[in-house]
Copies of this chain bind each other. A is one copy, B any other.
Amino acid sequence: MKLEPLDIQPRLLLGPGPSPVPYPVRRALAEPVVGHMDPQFLAIVDHIQTMLRKVFGTANRLTLPVSGTGSAGMETAIVNFVEPGDTVIVVVAGVFGGRMVEAVEKVGGRVVCLEVPVGAAATLETLRQLLDDHPATRLVAVVMAETSTGVLQPLAGWGELVHSRDALLLVDTVTALGGMPVNVDDNGFDVVFSGTQKCLSAPPGLSPFTASDRALTHLDARKVPIPSWYLDLNAFRQYWGQNRVYHHTAPISMLYGLYEALRLVLLEGVESRYARHRQVAQALWAGLEAMDMELMVDTAIRLPSVTTVKVPHGVDEMRLRQYLLKHEGIEIAGGLQSLSGKIWRIGVMGHGARLSNMIELLAALGRGLRDQGRHVASGVEAAEAVYNRGNK
């Protein structure tokens, strides 16, 4: 067996996650490991909670990172807040809505799908209709930023509507948090999870999570025990609350990384960060359109953090991505499931959301298309022009 040390060729990560992790965050990962009950570690835990509340836009006491990836956060939300027989409306507008359906079914929830065509968003009116049809609905689950389609789901009024029916609103903010306003409290979100490897630019492995006191009242009133040991919120509350009761060993190094990532977010300022994401995304869109590429999602509901672009007719989707990775050191992604082979997904996330990265990508994309005998106009100038307009 060969036992060679790691020798990793860096990539420019412009797919839908992981996003580029800046050096201060990687350096934080390498800090000396201390115990999970060490007072200095518990102080870090406190700071992480405070910073997470700020980025989530919430005063929720229960705000913490779940010890697993974004999917663990999703499962935490479902296993704690759905009981067998509960009616749950799940908005399915892509792969990540689809996963919530599976997770709800696994705990015995009765799923009512609010199905949305690919590339579109759900409307408040449809939700109201469904709630009328299913008055016993206990929870409404929706993805705010659907990574598989690049759609930003408008959620104005959702909290109010769902609360008026005495249900909880569960929101997947994986590809939103740190890149656009989430405003948990103002929007009336009850249960919210996210990931670290998107707009926060930390490595994957943790899932920022928050739940309102309203949600905790539902949790306390559960009739059936929480069906998971590892993702039991009542146990988390013991360690992340004042008691500090040991449940599982916290992933210490990952939490160092999250601490530093959140610190960088707040040093930049959340509003500046959101503006940067928007401005860089707009530059990318202008560049792609100048290259005659078609964007999949209408401007009104287009995510700044993930852009979906249609693969031009006759272009070999996979070959272009392999060209980018091998010759340009750039990673972008293809489509998932029904969109496989049809779209590319380009991330404008966290530390990666910079004009220079978009210029590099647009130029490389041009070379990749030429490699397949396609000659397109440059997107660089258009991207720069739009960026500079926004920068004034």
Which positions in A face B, CB cutoff 8 Å?
A: 1, 3-6, 8-11, 13, 15, 17-18, 20-21, 24, 26-40, 44, 50-51, 54, 67-72, 74-75, 78-79, 99, 102-103, 105-107, 195, 197, 203-205, 225-231, 246-254, 256-257, 259-260, 263, 266-267, 325, 331, 333, 336
Chain B residues with CB under 8 Å of A248's CB are 69-72
A sample of 5 more A-B contacts (CB under 8 A), given A30-B30, A72-B230, is A8-B32, A13-B33, A26-B32, A37-B333, A69-B248
Closest B-chain residue to A267, C-beta based? B3
What separation, in Å, do the CA atoms of A53 and B122 have in the docked complex?
A: 47
Report the Cα distance A9→B195, complex, angstroms.
Answer: 28
Q: Do A331 and B35 touch across chains, with their CB atoms under 8 A apart?
A: yes
**Does the CB pair A11–B30 fall under 8 Å?**
no
A69 vs B74: C-alpha distance in the bound complex, in angstroms? 17
Question: What 10 pairs across the A-B complex have the smallest Cβ distances?
Answer: A205-B251, A71-B248, A203-B253, A10-B32, A29-B29, A26-B30, A30-B30, A204-B249, A103-B229, A75-B230
11 of the cross-chain contacts (CB-CB < 8 Å) are A1-B51, A3-B266, A3-B267, A9-B40, A13-B34, A18-B33, A70-B248, A70-B249, A106-B229, A204-B249, A227-B227
Cα(A17)–Cα(B246), bound, Å: 12
- Taking CB atoms, residues of chain B closer than 8 Å to A35 are 11, 13, 15, 18, 331, 333
The interface centre, meaning the residue of A8, A27, A107, A266 with most chain B CB atoms within 10 A of its CB, is A8
**B33, B40, B263: the one within 8 Å of A20 (CB):** B33
- Nearest chain-B residue to A254 (Cβ)? B205
Residue of B nearest to A229 (CB): B103
Q: Please tell me which one of the listed residues B24, B67, B71 contacts residue A205 in the complex, with CB atoms under 8 A apart.
A: B67
Q: What residues of chain B lie closer than 8 Å to A15, measured between beta carbons?
A: 35
Is the beta-carbon distance between A1 and B50 smaller than 8 angstroms?
yes
Residue of B nearest to A334 (CB): B37
Report chain B residues within 8 Å CB of A32.
8, 10-11, 21, 26
Q: CB-CB < 8 A to A10: which residues of B?
A: 32, 34
Q: A155: shortest Cβ distance to chain B, in Å?
A: 23
A197 neighbours in B (Cβ, 8 Å): 33, 249
Most chain B CB atoms below 10 A, which of A15, A35, A102, A331: A35
Contact A263 B230 (CB under 8 A): no
Q: Are A8 and B34 in contact (CB under 8 A)?
A: yes
Q: Which of B8, B18, B102, B253 contacts A26 (CB 8 A)?
A: B253
Assembled-state Cα–Cα distance A107/B84 (Å): 13
In the complex, which residues of chain B have a beta carbon less than 8 angstroms from the beta carbon of A267? 3
A170 smallest CB distance to B (angstroms): 14
Distance (whole angstroms) from the CB of A137 to the closest CB of chain B? 21
Cα separation A275 to B38 with both chains bound (whole Å):
30
Give A33's nearest chain B residue, CB to CB: B21
Q: Are B251 and A69 in contact (CB under 8 A)?
A: yes
Residues of B within 8 A of A1 (CB): 50-51, 54, 266
- By the criterion CB–CB under 8 Å, are B29 and A8 in contact? no
| Nearest chain B residue, comparing its CB with the CB of A73 | B230
Query: In the complex, A299→B250 CA distance in Å?
Result: 32
A15-B71 Cα distance, complex, nearest whole Å: 31
- In the complex the two chains form, is A249's CB within 8 Å of B195's CB? yes
Chain B: which residue is nearest A50 at the CB level?
B1
Is the CB–CB distance between B13 and A31 below 8 Å?
Answer: no
Name the residue of chain B whose CB is nearest to the CB of A206. Answer: B251
Give every chain B residue within 8 A of A266 (Cβ-Cβ): 1, 3
